[in-house]
Chains A and B, each alone.
Chain A
Amino acid sequence: MSAEITESQGTTAVKDSGGATVAVAVADAPVMEFAEAVALGLEKFGVVLGWAPGRDGNLAPAFARSAEQASALAFGPSAVFNPARYVRDHTPCAVVAKPCDTRSLVQMMSENMLDRDEVFVIGLRCPGVADMKKVVERYGWGARVEQVGPDWLVNGDKADKADLLDARCRACLRREPVIADVVVGEPVTPPAEAERFTGLPESMAERGAFWEAEFGKCIRCYACRNACPLCYCQDVCVAQARQPHWLTDEATPAENWMWQMIRMAHLAGRCTQCGECNRACPVDIRLDLLTQELGDTARELFDYEAGLDPGQKAPFVTYDKERDEWPIR
């Protein structure tokens, strides 16, 4: 996995398939302090999407429209939310974005959902964020996670950062934003290996039982869909349509599997593995195993990673006559 990432470690201009530069190269983007970057974004577009402390002191999504509100914006291990999800309803705007969030922005650009010039990207160099569900499990609801120097503290006490690091961050080698107008933060050394999401049973029979149990939990709240920065349809989603009527509202394992197949089908070649669907699920269904599969298939079949090049066409809207030869019966 490391080989494909090297080229986008913040040193190359983001070019489209024609070779033209369509985005500011991160290497060319000025590096500045967080507050300065936010002030610049606020001045440019009047609103900055980011995170600010919420009720329990952890960060929550925030929309800063004044200097006072902007001064509350911050970054830290609890900045788990993907602000790209909110960008499409707030353009033109500035957005503070982790590397994974910048991939969502690029994917939106490649789909013409976002124009490059209607977003000011404050790209963060990111050491990863916390698995807040694990924090709650270990320390209880409201436990405050913050970064002080190189350490992560929970309720003021030093915590095991490696243990609390979100699995989606351990699966990611990016520590630099993919696209940025300005860059914030010290360079972070990426890990040598990306971890995989584990837990899928080996045998087919066990897999059937595994997903029967997972999808048995689903209550069809559609938090996964609504948290996804690329699910633009939201309520007019085909899953809730009468024509075509792919599935009913009955939250049975079979119907719920069909629901996730719709998500996989509609995100194939587009999903950037930002992990928000997995985090959003109130009953902790292993959606990370599905998004991992989407990424694996795009890479193995088409040598493609979503959200890196705004000019690149997603694999399922195009084809390559010579390349696409796979063995058939």
Chain B
Amino acid sequence: MPLIAEHKKTHTKEKPTIVAFLCNWCSYAGADMAGTSRFKQPADLRIIRVPCSGRLDWLLIAKTFKEGADGVLVSGCHPGDCHYTEGNFHARRKLEALKRYLPLFGIEEGRFEYTWVSASEGKRWSEVVSGFTEQIHELGVRKAG
């Protein structure tokens, strides 16, 4: 993944690579709102926009880790409010299962999380980002492999 490869070239041990997959309709808008509202949030986290959390193949998340990401966050619409009605219902099951698979391989709990942030929850988004970034900083940069 060019994004991560580039990021890893310019960032050092102190700066973990954190990637967030945000659904276009709720979370991305929420993040946007956090920005325009000037809520403080760390800049470590890099956002990738997807149409819906249900679009996420868990392989996208696996590949993100494989390419060297230290933390991955997924955020979508609250269940029941999905722009595509049921995308996040499917996503929820897959992502919860993935949370259990990753530690099997030594990817510590806490490196992958998913959450729901609506378009109007700008403040909540900045809190989520701050909290997750801090968590990843604590877990540290993953060892190669």
Q: Which residues, 197 to 215 on A, are CB-close (under 8 Å) to B?
A: 200, 204-212
For A319, the chain B residues whose CB sits under 8 A away are 86, 89-90, 92-93
Interface pick from A2-10, A28-36, A151-159, A254-262: A254-262
Query: A316 within 8 Å of B by Cβ?
Result: yes
- CB of A293 within 8 A of CB of B131, answer no
Q: Is the CB of A324 within 8 A of B94?
A: no
Judge if B100 is at the interface, Cβ distance under 8 Å: yes
Q: In the complex, which residues of chain A have a beta carbon less than 8 angstroms from the beta carbon of B92?
A: 319, 324, 326
With known contacts A268-B97, A301-B96, A324-B93, A200–B59 Cβ distance under 8 A: no
Are A321 and B79 interface neighbours, CB within 8 A?
A: yes
Residues of A within 8 A of B115 (CB): 328-329
Output the nearest chain B residue to A269 by Cβ-Cβ distance. Answer: B97
Structural contact, B80 and A207, CB atoms closer than 8 A: no
What 1/0 flags go to B134-145 for Cβ under 8 Å of A? Answer: 000000000101
Residue in chain B with minimal CB distance to A317: B90
Q: How far is the CA of A174 from the CA of B97 in the complex (A)?
A: 26
Contact A293 B62 (CB under 8 A): no
- CB of B117, distance to nearest CB on chain A (Å): 9
- Let me know if A283 is at the binding interface, CB within 8 A: no
Asked if B97 and A211 sit within 8 Å, CB to CB, the answer is no
For the complex, is B2 an interface residue (Cβ under 8 Å from A)?
A: no
Q: Is the CB of A264 within 8 A of B90?
A: no
Q: Is A240 among interface residues, defined by CB-CB distance under 8 A?
A: no
Shortest Cβ distance from A253 into B: residue: B145
Partner of B58, one of A253, A265, A300, A326: A265
Report chain A residues within 8 Å CB of B143.
Answer: 205, 208
Contact B66 A326 (CB under 8 A): no
Residue interface bits A69-88, CB-to-B below 8 A is 1, else 0: 00000000000000000000
Distance in Å from the Cβ of B125 to the closest Cβ of chain A? 11
User: Could you give, for residues 289-329 of chain A, a 1 whenever the CB lies within 8 Å of some chain B CB and a 0 otherwise?
Assistant: 11001001100111000000000000110010100101011
- Output the least CB separation between A319 and chain B (Å): 4
* Residues in A neighbouring B94, C-beta threshold 8 A: 268, 316
Task: Name the residue on A nearest B96 (C-beta).
Answer: A326
**Residues in A neighbouring B101, C-beta threshold 8 A:** 261, 264, 293, 297
Q: Is A139 an interface residue (CB 8 A)?
A: no
Out of B62, B93, B108, B128, name the residue touching A265 (CB < 8 Å): B62
Complex: how many Å from CA A254 to CA B97? 21
A257 and B66 contacting across the interface, CB-CB below 8 Å:
yes
For residue A321, which residue of chain B has the nearest CB? Answer: B89
- Cβ–Cβ contact B59 & A246, under 8 A: yes
Bound Cα distance from A265 to B97, whole angstroms = 10
Whether A204 contacts B103 in the complex (CB less than 8 A), given A328-B113, A328-B116, A329-B131, comes out as: yes
Assess A297 versus B100: contact at CB under 8 Å? Given A205-B143, A246-B59, A321-B80.
yes
Residues from chain A with Cβ under 8 Å of B80 in the complex: 321
A208, A264, A268, A302: which contacts B145 (Cβ < 8 A)?
Answer: A208
Are B59 and A297 in touch, CB under 8 angstroms?
no
Contact with A along B60-90 (1 / 0, CB 8 A): 0011001000000000000110000010011
Nearest chain B CB to A217's CB is how many angstroms away? 14
Q: How far is the CB of A240 from chain B (nearest CB, A)?
A: 14
**C-alpha gap A296/B103 in the complex (Å):** 13
B95-145 interface (Cβ within 8 A of A) = 96-97, 100-101, 103-108, 113-116, 128, 131-132, 143, 145
Query: Is there an interface contact between A301 and B106, defined as CB atoms closer than 8 Å?
Result: no
Q: Does B59 contact A265, Cβ atoms closer than 8 Å? A: yes
Q: Which residues of B contact A (CB under 8 A)?
A: 57-59, 62-63, 66, 79-80, 86, 89-90, 92-94, 96-97, 100-101, 103-108, 113-116, 128, 131-132, 143, 145
- What are 28 A-B residue pairs whose CB atoms fall within 8 Å in the complex? A204-B107, A205-B106, A207-B103, A207-B104, A211-B106, A212-B145, A246-B59, A246-B63, A247-B63, A255-B66, A258-B59, A258-B62, A261-B59, A262-B59, A289-B104, A293-B100, A296-B100, A297-B101, A316-B90, A316-B97, A319-B86, A319-B92, A324-B79, A324-B96, A326-B96, A328-B115, A329-B115, A329-B132
**4 tightest A-B CB contacts, nearest first:** A207-B106, A208-B106, A319-B89, A261-B62
